[in-house]
Amino acid sequence: MSAVSVVNLVIQKGTDFEETFALASEDGGILNLTNQTATAKLRKYPTSTTSYTFSTTLTVADSTVKISMTDDVTATLPSGRCYYDIVLTSSGGNKSKVVQGNVIVEETSSLWQLMSE
């Protein structure tokens, strides 16, 4: 399996969010995603029991995983610094974390206020 990549993100509350990650094996080649499923969650802290689930889409042909949240879901996220990760699960049940990082969840009203100034 591949090493864990660290990618930090920014999500605007109340807006649609989508990010695609190209996954590589440890030798730099594409990661074989055949018979794998992906789960991605956001938490306020890595050990928090409350989580928000991203929708995930795996594309085997180019070894990518797309995570997304609708505006309805992002509107409910806690503001400030949060944590997320993406975990692959093989058909045999083996789990591997492939991406993790911090997420800054910004209030949308702040964004629109800045844009109008």
pLDDT tens-digit map of 32-57: 899 999 999 999 999 999 999 999 99
Which residue from 88, 16, 76 is spatially nearest to 42, judged by alpha carbons? Answer: 76
Is 115's pLDDT higher than 70? no
Question: Using one digit for the tens of pLDDT, what is the confidence trace for 58-88?
Answer: 999 999 999 999 999 999 999 999 999 999 9
**Predicted TM-score (pTM) above 0.75:** yes
The whole-chain average pLDDT of the chain stands at 91
Which domains are assigned to the chain? 5-116 (2.60.40.10)
Q: Are 101 and 44 in contact (CB under 8 A)?
A: no
Cα separation of the two ends of the chain:
48
Which residue from 55, 68, 59, 7 is spatially nearest to 32, judged by alpha carbons? Answer: 59
